[in-house]
Structure 1
Amino acid sequence: MKGAKLKLDHIDRKIIAALQLDGRMTTQQLGDRIGLSASPCARRIRLLEQAGVIKGYAAIIDEALFGLPVSAFASIKLSRQHEDDLDRFAKAVSRWPEVVDCYLMTGQRDYLLRIVVSDLAEYERFLKEKLTRLDGVASIETSFALTQVKRTTFLPET
């Protein structure tokens, strides 16, 4: 069922909204919140998980308190955009724990990365030891976040 287009009804959307606010609640608590008994609620959650709508559950960590207060946004241009070059870059980036977000982009740049590190020296190390050593990287432009204005895991309603 994974990858199949799932038609979400209003109950599914209520489940998703509630779990986005508190992914630790029990099935009983969730059912009480949305007006459904625990058994059908658990069945719907299982279907949402099997369909890939719910990909997993995670704690949201304060990056600064965890010791990673610096967010760097690196715009990457590759020397070529052939499929094997894109795949090689994506594989390398997926192994680097400092990269917490990576997007293949349209426009002037090929990739946008968000990298979290403890300080500027750590970013310089990442840049010199990993990013610049990757074959096919033509240019890198980095911007540093001063303040995080908004970050959410809560999706807007569709």
Structure 2
Amino acid sequence: MQIDRIDRKILGALVANGRATQQELGEAAGLSPSAASRRQKALEDAGILRGYRADVNLRKLGMGATVMVTITLDSQSEEAMEAFENAVAASPSILRCHLMSGRNDYHLTVRAASIEDYERVHRQEIARLPRVARIETAFALREVVNRTVPPRLLG
């Protein structure tokens, strides 16, 4: 699906407010509410809009530490990577996992209540992941930018 300026306006409005009404989407894109609804449905059907989520402030829920973890496996075989990825998907403290190019194999984002809580996560979850040869951990001092979509795409 080719998206145009109007679709980008609808996406921008939804990125800013995932609960925007059809009236609000129409106003943002210069369309009637029903036309905005049809455009939104087309974006959903094309898989461009994958869903709608709540933006939860984890710090307010006591999860104040953001931890970046790089992992190197003992092998890059399909079996090793599949075992690792399945275990990561089952881990309750890992928010994101990316397969990386370069020196490290994976980059994880973990949220914990504190450094002490992360020590528990490290011992009980991360250190038990299969096929891990090396773990490197860095603590985020402050979040500077957190976007779901680069602004240039919303033009």
TM value normalised by structure 1? 0.91
The answer to whether residue 8 in structure 2 is matched with residue 13 in structure 1 is yes
Task: Letter of the 1:105 partner, please give it.
Answer: M
Q: CA deviation at 1:32?
A: 1.7
Q: CA deviation at 1:134?
A: 1.9
User: Matches of 2:101 and 2:62 in 1, distance apart?
Assistant: 32
SS of 1:65's equivalent in the other structure is helix
User: Matches of 2:38 and 2:86 in 1, distance apart?
Assistant: 35
> Unaligned 5+ residue runs, structure 2?
none
Task: Letter of the 2:58 partner, please give it.
Answer: E
Task: Letter of the 1:123 partner, please give it.
Answer: Y
The answer to whether residue 98 in structure 2 is matched with residue 86 in structure 1 is no
Task: Letter of the 1:138 partner, please give it.
Answer: A
User: Matches of 1:73 and 1:124 in 2, distance apart?
Assistant: 13
Q: CA deviation at 1:97?
A: 2.7
Aligned residue for 2:133?
138
SS of 1:151's equivalent in the other structure is coil
SS of 2:107's equivalent in the other structure is strand
More helix by share: 2
Q: CA deviation at 1:154?
A: 3.7
User: Matches of 2:113 and 2:42 in 1, distance apart?
Assistant: 40
Query: Which of the residues 16, 20, 37 maps onto 1:42?
Result: 37
CA RMSD across the alignment:
1.3
Task: Letter of the 2:146 partner, please give it.
Answer: R
Aligned residue for 1:107?
102
Paired residues in the alignment total 153
> Unaligned 5+ residue runs, structure 1?
1-5
User: Matches of 1:135 and 1:33 in 2, distance apart?
Assistant: 49
TM value normalised by structure 2? 0.92
Q: CA deviation at 1:39?
A: 1.5
Aligned residue for 1:149?
144
Q: Deviations over 1:98-138 (max 9, x none)?
A: 11111110111000001001012221111111111122000
